[in-house]
Structure 1
């Protein structure tokens, strides 16, 4: 009766409550423990969604407010404001909004869509094919191990590689290096640049949505700040990991896939 009464009190607005767990190991006790574990996971997921919604609102508010002000000034002071300049600036703002919304939709689909049937992919072949599309700008050197089979979504993994490669080329001083290797249980993709690197205390932060370090804002002021968050979401959905590890120089991104 106590478990039933406490369960009835729990709502989406307050998921912090837990049902009482009777002593012992009978079926009722096990059910109560399972229910509390489920509530804990649900509470964490709802809190994550609330924080994400708050961050998204903040990131969209600034460009929308700027766009509103530009258009309002053009109407209030038609003789003082150049309409062509206003339209050009407004167009740039809407393009940034569109880029943010597109990346948010990608992130939402990865996090919420049911998993698709994975296809066999040779990670080294995927890297080799995609590198041929990046012939301009900073040179990219590859060191690959043949035949690295993984299971997954090819389009999403190409997106991860492109995100990491574009990020590395943006921060590199002279070169980018990509390697593929194998361990006992994983295929490993490493993308390393010879830039200024990322401080240890920032290495986890940069995978959060809209987190952009000062150097990143300077080098790519039009970026959405969602690229690395999308990489993390894709690799997590593939039961792998992506981390920033120590490097003698620059930033070293390491992807491990089963």
Structure 2
């Protein structure tokens, strides 16, 4: 067992310890070590996929920006340099958005707890919905006394992501409901758009996953908003899911309900 353990490296976590028969301490130790190695291998595999996807997402706007600048330098008589300069901020803004979202995800996964405080969730939703710019109207229905403990900044980020996503896909209306249900604070954000296919209800929460309609409506997005929102929900011991709706998409945030002050 010691020789096999010494052969296991971070580059190859596929090896496993031989498991002796029986249920004595050595056999239990071998099974526990093998289970730990399996979890580490899965975590490393996810990390490699994430690194590969992140590299691709960062490379795309960088390549576009480089092409614009190279064309302006190589063909000064055919390409308007001012047009290239005007187009450059869009690519840099996309890079900035991706980097900022990656930093936020890193903080969420660092294990460091965020500042927690009692929050009137209904009041928070009302405050964040009121200053919305003209566009698809947002109708809210808030029941009083829906309190949670959490990070105000992080919960605002979730609400902003859900509201922006709903308004992007809605035809004429977005509805937000805040209510207590079975010991939980529930926030549902619904739109009257085309909705999300059942097969894509979990996919939309994957990092850098952007459905075709989302890419068309918001080509500058990072593809991390919903993934970050779910991570924040989990950090608050809650959940974020797409649930059934008569029309359009319905995102439902559930958090542990706290007693109001």
Following superposition, the deviation at residue 181 of structure 1 comes to 2.1
- For 1:147 and 1:24, how far apart are their aligned partners in 2? 56
- For 1:35 and 1:181, how far apart are their aligned partners in 2? 45
- For 1:106 and 1:29, how far apart are their aligned partners in 2? 42
Q: What is residue 255 of structure 1 aligned with on the other side?
A: 253
User: Which residue, out of 181, 195, 200, partners 1:202?
Assistant: 200
SS in 1 for 2:193: coil
- For 1:220 and 1:158, how far apart are their aligned partners in 2? 21
Please give the per-residue CA displacement for 1:225-246, whole angstroms capped at 9, x wherever unaligned.
1111111111122221111111
Q: What is residue 99 of structure 1 aligned with on the other side?
A: 97
SS in 2 for 1:79: coil
Following superposition, the deviation at residue 50 of structure 1 comes to 0.7
Off by >3 Å, runs of 4+ in structure 1 = none
- For 2:209 and 2:18, how far apart are their aligned partners in 1? 40
Aligned residues: CA RMSD: 1.7
Of 39-48 and 15-24, more deviation after overlay is shown by: 15-24
Specify every segment of 5 or more residues in structure 1 that has no aligned partner in the other structure, as ranges: none
User: Which residue, out of 190, 193, 205, partners 1:192?
Assistant: 190
Following superposition, the deviation at residue 214 of structure 1 comes to 1.6
Following superposition, the deviation at residue 113 of structure 1 comes to 4.3
Please give the per-residue CA displacement for 1:32-73, whole angstroms capped at 9, x wherever unaligned.
222222222211211111111111111112221122222222
- For 1:104 and 1:76, how far apart are their aligned partners in 2? 34
Q: What is residue 134 of structure 1 aligned with on the other side?
A: 132
Q: What is residue 81 of structure 1 aligned with on the other side?
A: 79
Q: What is residue 259 of structure 2 aligned with on the other side?
A: none
Following superposition, the deviation at residue 22 of structure 1 comes to 2.3
Q: Structure 1 residues 176, 16: CA separation in 2 closer, same or farther (over 3 Å shift)? A: same
Q: Equivalences for 1:1-258 in 2 at 5 Å?
A: 3-116=1-114, 118-134=116-132, 136-258=134-256
SS in 2 for 1:147: coil
The normalised TM-score by structure 2 is: 0.91
Following superposition, the deviation at residue 167 of structure 1 comes to 0.6
Of 47-56 and 100-109, more deviation after overlay is shown by: 100-109
SS in 1 for 2:175: strand
